[in-house]
Structures are given as C-alpha cells and as structure tokens.
Amino acid sequence: MLLTINKPQVPPELLAALTNARRIVVFTGAGMSAESGIATFRDKPDSLWAKFNTREMASPDGWRKNKNRVWAWYEGRRGAVLQTEPNAGHVAIAELSATLQNLHGQPVQVDVITQNVDNLHERAGSTSVTHLHGSLFAPRCMACECPGEFIPGEPDQSLMSLDPPRCSHCNSYIRPGVVWFGEAMPQGPWRHAEDLVDICHVMLVVGTSGIVWPAAELPINAHNLGKFTAEINPAPSELAKYMKVQWTSSAATGLPALIEELKKLKP
C-alpha cells in the first residue's frame, strides 16, 4: 500500500517576507506549547479554564481567600512544565535567525513576545524572550516585590494545598510570578514589546486565541503599522482578520517546515 505523507504547504508569501526581513517578532500563546503537552486555556474540553475557576486560581481575590490552594496549583503547573521539553516549533523559532543569516548573510534579529508563563522558548535556545504575563519561574514577594525562592525539590503536582514560602527580606508571602485577571501587565516588558512591534518588519503570530487584552493589541498594532503579519494556528483566531497570511497548521508541524523551506532557498 502506498503511504502518502502530506507535508505542510509553507505559504510562499511568508517565505518571501521572512527572507526580506531584518527584524522579526514571533508572538506566541498557549498553542505554541500544546504539542509539548502543556494544556491551553480555552480551546479544548480539558483546557485549563474549562477545568479551573479563573476567579479562584487567577485573581488577587482568589489568592487572598486561599493562598495554599493557589500556590499548590501554580507549583503543580511549574512541575508539569519541568517534565516537558520544547517542541519542534520552539526549536524552529530559535533557529530562525541563523537560518536567514545563512541564506543572505545579513544579520536578522528574532524577538519572541510570549503570553506563556512556561520557559520552553528559553530552553529551546531563543535569546530574546519577553514574557507579557509573567513566569511560573519568577515568584516574588507579595509585599516588597523582591524575587522569591522556591522550596527546594521537585514540585508535587498532586498537592491540593501547599504553604507558600516566605520572603527572606520582609517575611511576607511569596506569590506566583504570573499576571492575574484584574492586574496590570508588568510595564517594562509591555513597553519593550510595543517597541519591538514598532521596529519589526514581520510579525508571526503562533498559537493564540487573541482574545486577551491588552496582549492582543500587539498583532493588531503590527497590522495597523503596515507590518507583514502571519498566523500559524490550526484554527483561525480572532486575530486572523488582521493577518496577511493565515496558515492552518500546528506550531510543531508548520514552523520546522518553514525552516526546511528556508534552507532550500538559494542566496
């Protein structure tokens, strides 16, 4: 029997835009890490916000009411991330700059702006990663905001309740380093992200529903500023109408195929 393998068709307009770009922003959401085994927030029955209440797990009020439950949940998520690996999509993004430089000899800056709180872009080798919604790996004191330390050892994913550690400076509780509903995004990363969008030539949007603000403003700004915008998502997102290219593909399939095609191009 003949086996047919359908290789993902890389949009030629995207290849051309990347070849001409000297600054590229890759804007990512939970779908970027889905093929590493990390649940997304809303696009599947077993996604996080289908299973957990945002007010309980992701709001200042939820934290005030039950710190031990909230700390255990974020430690469980950190433990889950530590057991996963970057997927082929993360690796492809980390290879994009060198691949383009090998093609035309010009330096190319690739900046990742992510809504994800995992560390898979960094572990794949991306060197410029801006976290808009914080990080599971950057806890801080809820009072003095000093960086906090985790209790040593592997986080136990099965725990429903866990005492948060205390700050070594002021003895207040250490809180998860993620942005909760009702909280402002950290201003430094946000302003940096806005600047990166201003100066980029191409924005690649990967694996986000595009419904959480103000993060979703960035691809729309890129569109309004006349940048080349492309989305990689198995299903068109809310941002699709702002894209020059909507590529129906998964991150771990499409992005490596993109690198493969770029490598085949002649200088």
Q: Which residues have a catalytic role annotated?
A: 133
Gap between the Cα atoms of 93 and 26, Å rounded: 8
Of the candidates 227, 25, 22, 26, the residue with the CA atom closest to the CA atom of residue 106: 22
The residue sitting closest to ligand OAD, measured at its beta carbon, is: 31
- Give the nearer residue to ligand OAD in terms of CB position, either 169 or 241: 241
Segment contacting ligand OAD by CB under 6 A, of 66-74, 146-154, 158-166, 203-211: 203-211
Q: How far is the CB of 106 from ligand OAD (least distance, A)?
A: 29
Residue with tokens 């927030």, as numbered in its chain: 41
Gap between the Cα atoms of 175 and 222, Å rounded: 33
Gap between the Cα atoms of 224 and 239, Å rounded: 12
In the region spanning residues 39 to 78, those forming contacts with ligand OAD, defined by CB under 6 A, are: 40-43, 47, 58
* Contacting residues for 156 by C-beta, under 8 A, at least 6 apart: 75, 76, 79, 162
Segment contacting ligand OAD by CB under 6 A, of 64-72, 142-150, 163-171, 201-209: 201-209
Backbone angles phi, psi at 210, to 5 degrees: 70, 30
**193 contacts 132 by C-beta, under 8 angstroms:** yes
Q: Which of 18, 136, 179, 204 binds ligand OAD (CB under 6 A)?
A: 179
- Give the nearer residue to ligand OAD in terms of CB position, either 206 or 222: 206
Instruction: Give the orientation angle of helix 187-199 with respect to helix 217-224, to 10 degrees.
Output: 30
In the region spanning residues 217 to 236, those forming contacts with ligand OAD, defined by CB under 6 A, are: 233-235
**194 contacts 224 by C-beta, under 8 angstroms:** no
If one asks whether residue 38 binds ligand OAD (CB under 6 A), the answer comes out as no
- Give the nearer residue to ligand OAD in terms of CB position, either 157 or 248: 248
For the chain, count helices (H), then strands (E). 11, 8
**42 contacts 52 by C-beta, under 8 angstroms:** no
Q: How far is the CB of 157 from ligand OAD (least distance, A)?
A: 18
* Residue count (the chain): 267
Q: How far is the CB of 223 from ligand OAD (least distance, A)?
A: 17
- Give the nearer residue to ligand OAD in terms of CB position, either 236 or 265: 236
Q: Which of 24, 34, 129, 162 binds ligand OAD (CB under 6 A)?
A: 34
C-alpha pair distances (Å), 2 with each of 5, 6, 9, 261? 10, 13, 20, 25
Q: How far is the CB of 52 from ligand OAD (least distance, A)?
A: 11
Residue 75-114 contact track with ligand OAD, rule CB under 6 A, x = bound: ----------------------------------------
If one asks whether residue 35 binds ligand OAD (CB under 6 A), the answer comes out as yes
In the region spanning residues 3 to 32, those forming contacts with ligand OAD, defined by CB under 6 A, are: 29-31
Q: What does the binding site for ligand OAD look like in residue numbers (CB under 6 A)?
A: 29-31, 34-35, 40-43, 47, 58, 115, 133, 178-179, 206-209, 212, 233-235, 237, 250-251
